[in-house]
């Protein structure tokens, strides 16, 4: 059995952060309800819910693995995330309120001292100060609703708001006869993250509309169990392209026993996928062909792939696209070490949280992966990191929608002619 990286310490740290933030927010909320003479249930119920979700989070980390959730565990973790994640935004609002309020109180105190009035600690707050504090409190708690809207939107709308990313690539060795060939890439389906088949069915409908010549899927079909495939099997079986549907495996496709792994591999091939496990195929014609190679997962404490085996028999001057789930392989074993023109990867999910606006894109994932989303080039070689379709951990996407990429490949001669 191949186990996922141990995240017990990570789980403990995350839970402690959640608890600290929740205590700060709920303490502030309790004070607000008391000042406004609200019914005691308004402050008691949130504390009860907090205790319930802390236990639920601990249970999920203990019983399973946050990267391998499916079914009820995924739903439970999703509800816990909906409770805890907005607190990060709420804390920022409350801190700004407290800092501003503290600064105003300090100025008020200094003013009293300078005027030799009665000390601030012995005198009641003036009506203007009381009104100001009430206004700040109500404003802060009104703004506190915004993070919940953002997280809720990320769970129910952005989660399946598929975006098509068109990318045009000039491949130096591509024959002119294959100029304009189109390839769709999807990645990280994570079947265990779907409640039913409908979200993936919508993705297939979009792919059908693009009419690609070939389709590639770069790993992580399941979260942890081959049985998860049953949720989306019928949809995957209907994914077709004239030149074929090619796939490779990801780290999650190994989080089970050898018997279960054979079951997963057999199941994927039964669905009509040309699963490339350290091997390659040629598409096109005998006179004008393109190599699509697939390497099993290398990275995230796994070493199932063999780049040399996958490329064995491929000439240096053949146009070659390599499917490799983990983008860290590119710098380690591809750039400057092979004749691969384009490597297509996934794995990062774009972080599932970030900002995309006016050409600017940011995500915490960029502090973990040098190539975390989109196109990267070094010399004549290119890697593209797909943001994925499914999710792991919290079933949420904020600012990083799920991705379907369509590549249009250009031959150098054709590109020069177009210029």
Please give the pLDDT value at position 152: 60
Q: Express each pLDDT in 343-383 by its tens digit.
A: 999 999 999 988 887 778 888 899 899 999 999 999 999 99
Please give the pLDDT value at position 71: 64
Q: Express each pLDDT in 145-163 by its tens digit.
A: 666 666 666 556 678 999 9
Domain 164-418 annotated CATH 3.60.21.10: yes
Q: Which residue has the higher pLDDT, 293 or 51?
A: 293
Instruction: Provide the residue ranges of all domains of the chain, joining segments of one domain with +.
Output: 8-84, 88-143, 164-418
Burial class (CB in 10 A: 0-12, 13-18, 19+), 244: middle
Please give the pLDDT value at position 133: 55
Chain-centroid distance of CA 12 in Å reads 21
Q: Which residue has the higher pLDDT, 224 or 11?
A: 224
Q: Express each pLDDT in 239-265 by its tens digit.
A: 999 999 999 999 999 998 999 999 999
Sheet holding 279-284, edge to edge: 279-284, 289-295, 320-324, 342-345, 381-385, 374-378
| CA gap 296, 250 in Å, rounded | 7
Say if residue 6's pLDDT is above 70. Answer: no
Q: Express each pLDDT in 304-330 by its tens digit.
A: 999 999 999 999 999 999 999 999 999
Q: How far is CA 212 from CA 182, 242, 290, 408, in A?
A: 5, 8, 15, 9
Task: Report the percentage of the chain scoring pLDDT > 70.
Answer: 80
- pTM, 2 dp: 0.80
**Other C-beta atoms lying within 10 Å of the C-beta of residue 286:** 6
């Amino acid at each position: 059995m191949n186990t996922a990286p141990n995240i017990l310490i990570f789980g403990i740290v995350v839970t402690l952060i959640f608890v600290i933030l929740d205590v700060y927010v709920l303490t502030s909320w309790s004070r607000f309800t008391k000042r406004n003479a609200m019914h005691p249930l308004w402050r008691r119920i949130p504390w009860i819910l907090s205790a319930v979700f802390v236990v639920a989070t601990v249970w999920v980390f203990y019983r399973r693995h946050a990267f391998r959730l499916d079914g009820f565990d995924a739903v439970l973790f999703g509800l816990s995330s909906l409770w805890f994640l907005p607190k990060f935004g709420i804390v920022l609002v409350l801190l700004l309120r407290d800092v501003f309020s503290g600064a105003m109180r300090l100025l008020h105190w200094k003013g009293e001292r300078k005027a030799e009035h009665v000390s601030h600690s012995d005198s009641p707050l003036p009506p203007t100060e009381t009104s100001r504090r009430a206004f700040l409190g109500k404003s802060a708690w009104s703004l506190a609703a915004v993070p919940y809207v953002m997280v809720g939107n990320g769970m129910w709308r952005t989660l399946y708001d598929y975006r098509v990313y068109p990318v045009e690539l000039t491949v130096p060795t591509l024959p002119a006869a294959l100029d304009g060939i189109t390839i769709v890439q999807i990645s990280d389906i994570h079947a265990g993250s779907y409640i039913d088949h409908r979200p993936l069915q919508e993705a297939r409908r979009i792919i059908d509309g693009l009419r690609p010549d070939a389709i590639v899927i770069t790993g992580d079909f399941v979260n942890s169990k081959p049985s998860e495939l049953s949720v989306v099997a019928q949809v995957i079986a209907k994914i077709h392209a004239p030149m074929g549907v090619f796939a490779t495996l990801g780290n999650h496709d190994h989080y089970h026993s050898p018997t279960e792994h054979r079951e997963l591999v057999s199941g994927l091939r039964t669905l009509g996928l040309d699963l490339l496990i350290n091997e390659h195929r040629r598409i096109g014609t005998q006179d004008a062909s393109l190599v699509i190679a697939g390497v099993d997962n290398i990275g995230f404490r796994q070493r199932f792939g063999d780049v040399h085996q996958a490329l064995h028999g491929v000439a240096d001057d053949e146009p070659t696209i390599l499917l490799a789930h983990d983008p860290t392989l590119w710098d380690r074993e591809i750039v400057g070490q092979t004749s691969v023109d384009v490597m297509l990867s996934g794995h990062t999910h774009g972080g599932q949280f970030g900002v995309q606006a006016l050409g600017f894109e940011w995500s915490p994932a960029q502090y973990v992966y040098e190539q975390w989303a989109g196109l990267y080039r070094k010399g004549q070689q290119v890697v593209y990191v797909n943001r994925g379709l499914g999710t792991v951990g919290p079933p949420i996407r904020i600012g990083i929608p799920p991705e379907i990429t369509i590549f249009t490949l250009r031959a150098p001669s054709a590109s020069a002619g177009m210029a």
